[in-house]
Structure 1
């Protein structure tokens, strides 16, 4: 599959689509989702990188664009206030449940290693082995949905990112929020040790 056939989505559209994909599996009783429920899913503090604070206007704009692209559809419950939304990812693209799970994680969490995908995918899809994860990743990469990123210093596993925002250069700082506290802590410790040495 040629990557040119993929839609180029912005960050809000990717977050909305990923949230719908996730909640269809993790909370099926509340799916399809209301705008209010979707806002909470997009802005939740866990399992999201980066964490965002989208208002309902931003989410509505993203929903309208995704609907035009055919990636979501609506289900009304009798009045306009009860409009609910569902994703059509596996209808638009010929992907299996295991592939939907991986795409969902990449949409919501940013670049992931096979090990991270295996750990984080439990509620979306149960992979039997790490080898199975790697096989699905290779298939998605060969079909142009994702690409492999260069290894970070000291990292054993390759990371993968989705290509639904275009084939852009990955900027490490955009996803470094998890590591920055540890880094700043170590720098603080070094400064304390240095000061203690000077005062001694």
Structure 2
């Protein structure tokens, strides 16, 4: 977490002052990606612009899949910095970016983890969130996930109001899904389609999640190493003049 000394006294964000405008989808994707990579690839964090763009545009573990250009990501970063949700690092040849979401929003670590995953993967049940966030934070059980979600839903107006909402049960679904409100109100009139049933056990799903995440982290680390090598050799990045 960023120390208070990183901010002038008059600009230090405080949780109870958190009154944000709705984020754009691009801003939510950038913020969620920074939150994810801080947990899953700490050796490459804070992220360079190239690594961040790659993470935002991943084909897996993203809902919806997006294709953001460098300029769009930079625009989102500028907007998030104005909300104190993103910080720009210094002391490196390449500019790097890190998130400051939990402090800016005034939420505990566990709540920030759940919001970050909702930004990346869309509405999910408490069970899905517990499974998908395993590499970010190990929740004791589904009940603990529900507890943090309910706190976010019951957030008082003086703290900025609710940050999540419980959606109506989808046809054929056993559990209700949760959605974040960081991009504004959610359409409650059309329940999400029921999740496809699976015969896989929870242990099998956890193992598969770990394998996919490990592959994604390896790719991200290799891309970051390649970028650093190109910079040291004075070579341009692929796709750049």
**What's the TM-score once normalised by structure 2's chain length?**
0.67
d(CA) in 2 for partners of 1:103, 1:21: 10
- Asked if the contact 1:50/1:175 (under 8 Å) is kept, the reply is no
- In structure 2, relative to structure 1, the CA distance for the partners of 1:6 and 1:157 (3 Å cut) is farther
Answering whether residue 151 of structure 2 is matched by residue 139 of structure 1, we say yes
- 1:175 is displaced (CA, Å) by 8.2
- Matched residue SS, 1:73: strand
8 Å Cα contact 2:20-2:83 kept in structure 1: no
Deviation at 1:78, TM superposition (A): 3.9
Match for residue 49 of structure 2? 35
Runs of 5+ in structure 2 lacking a partner? 1-14, 156-161, 198-241
Number of equivalences: 176
Look up the match of 2:170.
152
CA distance in 1, matches of 2:62, 2:128: 13
Any gaps of 5 or more consecutive residues in structure 1?
Answer: 180-200
Structure 1's consecutive aligned runs of 4 or more residues displaced over 6 angstroms after TM superposition are 173-179
Q: Secondary structure at the match of 1:86?
A: strand
Structure exhibiting the larger radius of gyration computed from Cα positions: 1
1:102 is paired with a residue whose SS is: helix
2:24 counterpart residue number: 10
Matched residues in 1 for 2:137 and 2:22: separation? Answer: 26
For residues 69 and 192 of structure 2, what CA distance do their matches in structure 1 show? 21
**CA deviation after TM superposition for structure 1 residue 169, in Å:** 1.5
